[in-house]
């Protein structure tokens, strides 16, 4: 759905890495597709740029990280819409540039403003103060990057200071995980089909795994990570949000307020995170990085068990895992269904040998789903094996319509759609249930780079097993025999 209202995008941190890799190429794609056609972009940062050199920077960014050739063909039309306000000129300079840019619209145009705060966490509130001083709050929305606090007290204080300047409906706390098509497809899959929603509860689901291992290390982010850790960086701001989409009740409508309310109900139903249900790890070599204390107890890995204590999910464990320098990069949600009685099948038939049936959502850019189940092998006797049905977005005619996560979220924020964003109430509740762990963290255990984490993860998930690395390989329909 195009955003037909004229929009001024003010991009703070416009010459940074996120802007170069995601935001500028994403804005070009939204412009080319007509989803954000009537826009002007004002970049600002502390770097010594002019409008011309900023356009050069943006051109290099879209050449390196842009999408298809159609995006790049739109560059000559897009480039004149880019402007730069040097950060050294302060609030007055920013106000002046925004007014000059908005004057290029016809008289009577009343553009909205979308401020993207692509800045370090410690700089976010100073940007908010700058917007207040520049009188750029009215008709505005702001997009904020994580982290949204580091505990309940800091999150509450951050929200208090934000609300002194902006109303809650003006604030969009971004989670790029929920911007991915596969994450949103969970809602469609559950609520638009009669196949799975009737069994989407404790009577039929054994447990749920949300697994986000990462292969990359922290050489470029070690000083930031040292003060944050995997739990604060990934679990509160990403994995719990995915959990809410998986566990929420049907909303009264697919509207932002209704979906946000159901997500918050999940958060309110979550039991506190107890230290004995958490495994923290640190990959060998992390302490040798610049900016890391030699006796650091910061976790680069975390796995945990948590519960949603409501009628639908009481007693069903949710297992979450994420970490750096792991064996494989992946982003999956795996629903394990309860196994039926096996007494009717002869011994040695193979039933149950490969664990329960699983429904798996792959949240990576390929946007894939698979369903594993038992079936009979051809031939005499009753010999069974695990089979799999799979769907991948790139195998359909829709592949070219998929928006990258940041593109989707920028577009939603421009339209005022909060569906995929975190609310102040939600984030404060997540820090509240995290308090037992934050106040009494478990010991950090070493793990080898390229592994799946500390050995204690197997005790955490027992009597089950982690779905990764045993998830069945995805078939490529273009390969013979696949």
Is 324 a known ligand-binding residue? yes
Could you give the residue numbers annotated as active site? 238
Is 407 a known ligand-binding residue? no
Going 246 to 251 to 257 to 261, the CA torsion angle's sign is negative
Question: Residue 103: is it exposed, middle or buried by C-beta count within 10 angstroms (0-12/13-18/19+)?
Answer: exposed
Is 14 a known ligand-binding residue? yes
Is 381 a known ligand-binding residue? no
Is 291 a known ligand-binding residue? no
State how beta strands 140-144 and 7-12 pair. Answer: unpaired
Asked, as a colleague might, if the bond just before 163 is cis with ω within 30 of 0, I would say no
Pairwise CA distance, residues 196 & 174, whole Å: 29
Is 13 a known ligand-binding residue? yes
Place of tokens 């007290």: 153
Is 233 a known ligand-binding residue? yes
Give, in order, the Cα–Cα distances in Å from 141 to each of 36, 108, 147, 171, 250.
15, 21, 18, 6, 28
Is 214 a known ligand-binding residue? yes
Is 47 a known ligand-binding residue? no
Give, in order, the Cα–Cα distances in Å from 303 to each of 26, 177, 235, 258.
33, 18, 9, 31
Pairwise CA distance, residues 449 & 300, whole Å: 11
Question: Residue 98: is it exposed, middle or buried by C-beta count within 10 angstroms (0-12/13-18/19+)?
Answer: buried
* Contact call for residues 347 and 167 (beta carbons, < 8 A): no
Would you state the structure tokens that stand for residue 324, as one six-digit string?
A: 């750096």
Is 458 a known ligand-binding residue? no
Would you state the structure tokens that stand for residue 410, as one six-digit string?
A: 């920028």
Is 149 a known ligand-binding residue? no
Which of 302, 307, 334 is closest to 469 using CA atoms?
Answer: 334
Is 18 a known ligand-binding residue? yes
Residue 7 CB coordination number (10 Å): 21
Pairwise CA distance, residues 23 & 67, whole Å: 12
Give, in order, the Cα–Cα distances in Å from 95 to each of 91, 115, 246.
6, 13, 43
Which of 390, 346, 354 is closest to 374 using CA atoms?
Answer: 354
Pairwise CA distance, residues 372 & 474, whole Å: 12
Contacts of 478 (CB under 8 A, 6+ apart): none
What residues are designated binding site?
A: 13-20, 146, 176, 180, 214, 233, 324
What residues are designated binding site for NADP(+)?
A: 13-20, 146
What residues are designated binding site for substrate?
A: 176, 180, 214, 233, 324
């Amino acid at each position: 759905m195009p955003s037909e209202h004229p929009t001024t995008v003010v991009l703070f941190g416009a010459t940074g890495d996120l802007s170069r890799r995601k935001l500028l190429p994403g804005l070009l794609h939204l412009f080319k597709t007509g989803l954000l056609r009537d826009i002007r972009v004002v970049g600002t940062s502390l770097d010594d740029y002019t409008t011309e050199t900023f356009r050069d920077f943006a051109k290099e960014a879209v050449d390196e990280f842009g999408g298809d050739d159609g995006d790049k063909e739109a560059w000559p039309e897009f480039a004149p819409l880019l402007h730069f306000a040097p950060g050294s000129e302060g609030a007055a300079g920013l106000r002046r540039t925004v007014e000059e840019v908005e004057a290029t619209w016809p008289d009577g145009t009343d553009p909205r403003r979308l401020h993207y705060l692509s800045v370090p966490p410690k700089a976010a509130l100073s940007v908010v103060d700058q917007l207040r001083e520049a009188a750029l709050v009215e008709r505005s929305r702001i997009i904020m990057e994580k982290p949204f606090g580091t505990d309940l007290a800091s999150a509450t204080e951050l929200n208090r200071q934000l609300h002194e300047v902006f109303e809650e409906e003006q604030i969009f706390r971004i989670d790029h995980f929920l911007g991915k098509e596969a994450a949103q497809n969970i809602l469609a899959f559950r609520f638009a089909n009669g196949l799975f929603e009737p069994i989407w509860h404790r009577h039929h689901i054994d447990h749920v795994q949300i697994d986000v291992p990462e292969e990359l290390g922290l050489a470029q982010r070690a000083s930031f990570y040292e003060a944050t850790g995997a739990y604060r960086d990934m679990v509160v701001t990403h994995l719990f949000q995915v959990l809410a989409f998986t566990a929420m009740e049907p909303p009264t409508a697919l509207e932002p307020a209704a979906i946000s309310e159901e997500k918050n109900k999940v958060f309110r139903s979550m039991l506190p995170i107890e230290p004995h249900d958490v495994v923290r790890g640190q990959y060998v070599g992390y302490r040798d990085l610049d900016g890391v204390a030699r006796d650091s107890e910061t976790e680069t890995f975390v796995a945990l068990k948590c519960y949603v204590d409501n009628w639908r999910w009481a007693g069903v464990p949710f297992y979450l895992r994420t970490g750096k320098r792991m064996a494989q990069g992946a982003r999956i949600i795996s629903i394990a269904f309860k196994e039926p009685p096996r007494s009717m099948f002869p011994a040695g038939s193979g039933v149950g040998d490969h664990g329960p049936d699983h429904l798996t959502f792959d949240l990576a850019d390929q946007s894939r789903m698979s369903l594993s189940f038992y079936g009979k092998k051809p031939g005499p006797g009753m010999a069974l094996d695990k089979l799999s049905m799979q769907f991948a977005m790139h195998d359909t005619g829709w592949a070219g319509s998929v928006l990258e996560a940041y593109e989707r979220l920028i577009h939603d924020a421009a339209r005022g759609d909060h569906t995929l964003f975190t609310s102040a109430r939600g984030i404060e509740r997540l820090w509240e249930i995290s308090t037992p762990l934050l106040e009494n963290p478990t010991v950090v255990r070493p793990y080898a780079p390229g592994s799946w984490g500390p050995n204690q993860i197997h005790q955490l998930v027992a009597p089950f097993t982690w779905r990764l690395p045993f998830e069945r390989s995805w078939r490529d329909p273009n390969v013979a025999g696949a």
